[in-house]
């Protein structure tokens, strides 16, 4: 067997896809499989609605700011699964090529760790992605009957200091998210739908005309750990006064203090996690937070603007060697207990006067109980990076639909009781890693039909193609930022995002890589396949090429051999 080629210079940069391509792929997949990016559709009862101080949506939950809200197709997949509240990936003045994030950047053995922070594309590209996603969701809601066309909400996330947020770049982003109609991407999406109305079964000109100019109706402020209280307060005041937008301030789990954090983690079997003491001494203290929030609530009341808190950010801890960075961010079950503890402290101070949103270790085990405390909307990320990925969302939508009414504001007694029960709940005790043991080398062709690399990819960069009676995994280079999550779950030794047959995003990427794959450059198709990576049936290779050309590239055969 020949030595496998080196996978050099594969792109870890995501390349946004044009709106017509996204839309046509969604329509084709829905018509053939009733799925959207491999997520079975979930139809939400149009009679159900959730209200808070500024919005009315069909479901009070969805993906948190992170890998599931960075690209338009991620958001479309979340909506297909039943999510209706989308906390968009954080944008900041440092973006695109000037922002470096080491890869891999995600690891979810049981609890979650990451070294991500803000969007990896430019702010201008982020705006385009969110506008495209907005049009996709409005179309899908009507054409596929998934819910009310205005039954979802986009929540902006910006960071990380006042100077950056007031910069021309971030300021422009906020203004355009509030009124996207003048932007080129809004006009392109609108015109494409307008020119193709006769092709659609349900989506009509009336649906197009009621499109909102406002893409997002609220904003979450994410600040760096260690950001002073007066800086956070000034950011919130600026957004409420200058931008007149509902504001959530995202607080940190360090508000619990070092001693309580160590005890909660140790009691639940997470004592091995190495905390960073300076994060607790330099970060916002509870007394400062309470005083700041009191002033901001009064300011919001005077301005008649909604104000609340988001609980919580991830917790910085010392890296364990999986990543190149010296510090990583903790999420998942242990963060749930830490965030709930912060919620209890704030509810003790403010009662029901401080609205709370929640993110941190949420899943099917706790979302019903959380909503019953009056804390909402709820967002999640870690669980969506596990074995079923976006498919968990439909399960959670059913759970929420069965709750009935729940409090509109936080209730201390219910939060306190929930905290006590959770600390005693063995569900939050450390479990063994759920990652598979790896034995065999990852084949280019003919994987086991486990679909794990598809389910756990937040960017939908891996797809399944059936070629005759064979199941093949194909990787879409443009969607992938090499976060590493699929490699964690793959039962083989190898990286699906480097070792599987790849649809390249550009001729340049194709040329510098030795990986097997295909590129369509204008009218020319180049193919590199079955280069003795391992024994492979020639018919399998040709069937795979044919399936990729028809299902992914959507082009005709170039010769009789495919």
Confidence of residue 4 (pLDDT cuts 50, 70, 90): very low
Residues 482 and 533 in one domain: yes
pLDDT of residue 534: 44
C-alpha span between 451 and 325 (Å, rounded): 30
Q: What is the pLDDT of residue 509?
A: 86
Judge whether residue 262 has pLDDT over 70.
yes
Beta strands in 266-394 (DSSP E): 307-311, 315-318, 327-331, 356-359, 378-380
Lowest mean pLDDT among 133-142, 310-319, 466-475, 479-488: 466-475
330: confidence class by pLDDT, cuts 50, 70, 90: very high
Same domain? For 357 and 395 the reply is yes
User: What was the pLDDT predicted at 45?
Assistant: 84
* Domain boundary residue, one of 375, 392, 425: 425
Asked if residue 21 belongs to a domain, the reply is no
For residues 520 and 82, what is the distance between their CA atoms, to the nearest angstrom? Answer: 34
Any idea which of 335-349, 431-445, 541-555 has the lowest mean pLDDT? Answer: 541-555
In a domain? residue 26: no
Structure tokens at 553: 């590239």
Give the orientation angle of helix 19-33 with respect to helix 72-81, to 10 degrees. Answer: 30
What range defines the domain where residue 514 resides? 1-14+436-562
Instruction: Note the pLDDT tens digit of each residue in 496-555.
Output: 998 899 999 888 888 888 788 899 887 788 888 765 444 445 677 888 888 888 888 876
Q: Are residues 418 and 466 in the same domain?
A: no
Whether residue 204 lies inside any domain: the answer is: yes
Residues 154 and 200 both lie in one domain: yes
Q: What percent of the chain has pLDDT over 90?
A: 77
Q: Is residue 378 part of a domain?
A: yes
Same domain, 368 and 451: no
Percent pLDDT > 70 in the chain is 95
Whether residue 295 lies inside any domain: the answer is yes
- Confidence band of 9 (pLDDT split at 50, 70, 90): very low
Same domain, 401 and 277: yes
pLDDT per position as a tens digit, 361-418: 999 999 999 999 999 999 999 999 999 999 999 999 999 999 988 999 999 999 999 9
Does some domain include residue 421?
A: yes
* One domain, residues 10 and 136: no
Residue 116 within a domain: no
Minimum mean pLDDT among 106-110, 481-485, 545-549: which range?
545-549
pLDDT at 284 over 80: yes
| Residue 531 pLDDT | 56
Average pLDDT value for the chain = 92
Asked which of 12-26, 38-52, 205-219, 279-293 is least confident by mean pLDDT, the reply is 38-52
Q: Are residues 44 and 182 in the same domain?
A: yes
pLDDT of 562 strictly over 70: no
Q: How many domains does the chain have?
A: 2
Distance CA 392, CA 382 (A): 11
Residues 3 and 129 in one domain: no
Among the three residues 425, 459, 486, which one is the final residue of a domain in this structure?
A: 425
DSSP alpha helices (H): ranges in 108-183?
123-143, 162-165, 168-178
Judge whether 313 and 253 are in contact, CB under 8 Å: yes
Kindly state whether residue 562 falls inside one of the protein's structural domains: yes
Question: Last residue of a domain, which of 425, 449, 469?
Answer: 425
Same structural domain for residues 235 and 293? Answer: yes
Residue recorded with tokens 């954080």: 90
pLDDT at position 321 over 60: yes
**pLDDT grade for 557, boundaries at 50, 70 and 90:** very low
Question: Can you give the CATH number for the domain in which 276 is found?
Answer: 3.20.20.70
Domain match, 157 and 240 both:
yes
Same domain, 52 and 193: yes
């Amino acid at each position: 067997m020949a030595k496998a080629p080196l996978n050099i210079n594969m792109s870890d940069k995501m390349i946004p896809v044009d709106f017509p391509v996204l839309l046509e792929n969604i329509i084709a997949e829905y018509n053939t499989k009733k799925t959207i990016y491999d997520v079975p559709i979930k139809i939400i009862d149009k009679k159900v609605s959730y209200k808070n101080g500024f919005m009315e949506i069909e479901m009070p939950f969805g993906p948190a700011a992170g890998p599931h809200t960075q690209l338009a197709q991620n958001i479309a997949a979340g909506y297909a699964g039943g999510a209706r509240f989308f906390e968009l990936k954080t944008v900041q003045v440092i973006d695109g090529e000037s922002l470096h994030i080491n890869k891999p950047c995600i690891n979810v053995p049981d609890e979650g760790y990451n070294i991500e922070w803000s969007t990896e594309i430019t702010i201008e590209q982020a705006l385009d992605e969110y506008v495209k996603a907005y049009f996709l969701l409005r179309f899908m809601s009507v054409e596929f009957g998934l819910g009310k066309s205005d039954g979802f909400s986009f929540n902006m996330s910006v960071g990380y200091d006042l100077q950056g947020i007031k910069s021309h770049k971030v300021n422009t982003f906020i203004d355009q998210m509030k009124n996207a109609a003048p932007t080129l991407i809004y006009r392109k999406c609108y015109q494409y739908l307008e020119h193709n109305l006769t092709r659609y079964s349900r989506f009509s000109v009336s649906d197009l005309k009621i499109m909102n100019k406002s893409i997002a109706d609220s904003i979450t402020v994410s600040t760096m750990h260690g950001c002073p209280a007066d800086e956070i307060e000034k950011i919130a005041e600026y957004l409420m006064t200058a931008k007149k937008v509902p504001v959530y301030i995202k607080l940190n789990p360090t508000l619990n203090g070092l001693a309580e954090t160590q005890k909660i983690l140790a009691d639940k079997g997470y004592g091995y996690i190495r905390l960073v003491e300076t994060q607790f001494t330099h970060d916002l203290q509870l007394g400062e937070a309470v005083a700041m929030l009191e002033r901001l609530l009064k300011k919001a009341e005077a301005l008649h603007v909604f104000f609340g808190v988001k609980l919580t950010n991830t917790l910085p801890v010392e890296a364990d060697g999986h990543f190149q960075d010296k510090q990583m961010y903790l999420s998942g079950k242990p963060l749930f207990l830490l965030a709930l503890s912060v919620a209890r402290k704030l509810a003790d101070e403010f009662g029901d006067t401080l609205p709370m949103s929640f993110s941190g270790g949420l899943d099917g085990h706790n979302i019903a109980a959380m909503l019953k405390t009056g804390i909402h909307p709820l967002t999640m990320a870690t669980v969506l990076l596990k074995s079923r990925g976006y498919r968990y969302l439909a399960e959670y939508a059913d759970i929420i639909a069965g709750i009935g009414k729940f409090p509109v504001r936080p209730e201390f007694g219910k939060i306190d009781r929930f905290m006590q029960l959770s600390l005693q709940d063995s569900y939050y005790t450390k479990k063994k890693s759920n990652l598979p043991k790896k034995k065999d080398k990852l084949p280019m062709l003919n994987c086991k039909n486990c679909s794990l690399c598809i389910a756990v990819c937040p960017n939908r960069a891996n797809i399944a193609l059936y070629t005759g009676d064979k199941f093949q995994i194909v990787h879409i280079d443009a969607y992938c930022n090499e976060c590493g999550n699929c490699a964690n779950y793959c039962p083989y030794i190898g990286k699906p995002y480097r070792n599987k047959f790849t649809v390249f995003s550009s001729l340049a990427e194709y040329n510098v890589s030795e990986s097997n794959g295909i590129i369509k450059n204008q009218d020319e198709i180049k193919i590199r396949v079955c280069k003795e990576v391992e024994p492979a049936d020639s018919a399998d290779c040709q069937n795979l090429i044919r399936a990729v050309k028809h299902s992914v590239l959507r082009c005709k055969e170039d010769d009789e051999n495919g």
